[in-house]
Amino acid sequence: LTGAMLAGAISVKFVGLFVVLYVGIFTIGQLWFILGDVSKPFLYTLKHFIARAICLIAVPIVLYISFFYIHLTILSKSGSGDGFYSSLFQSTLEGNRLYNASMPKDVAYGAL
């Protein structure tokens, strides 16, 4: 659940990166405490590390990428904010005046 919330926090604004940083520092502290407990076997520490790596690193990354994949798959229509994007990206938006326009991907030397 924490991993999903971390993905949501960073997807909304990059200020959510500070939330991810806070949770990461807190998790490092907990893992350091577990590592220092010599009464526990090493496998116990390894299981904690792997579980936290999956739940707090892998899950948020997969969710973050999934959010943008869904976003760019569904939202393929033109809108009022198209001017903020490159003309190459605008040419992929349905309803934009540049839709399916043929344009070079690279600018030749001296063309500007």
Note the pLDDT of residue 103.
67
pLDDT of residue 44: 93
SS3 content of the chain, % helix, strand, coil (to 5): 65, 0, 35
- Which pLDDT score is estimated for 51? 94
Rg over alpha carbons for the chain, rounded to the nearest Å, is: 22
* pTM of the complete model: 0.66
One digit per residue, pLDDT tens: the chain, 112 residues?
Answer: 888 888 888 877 777 888 888 898 999 999 999 999 989 999 999 999 999 999 999 999 999 899 889 988 887 888 888 788 887 788 788 887 777 777 666 766 776 6
List residues bridging with 94 in a β-sheet: 77
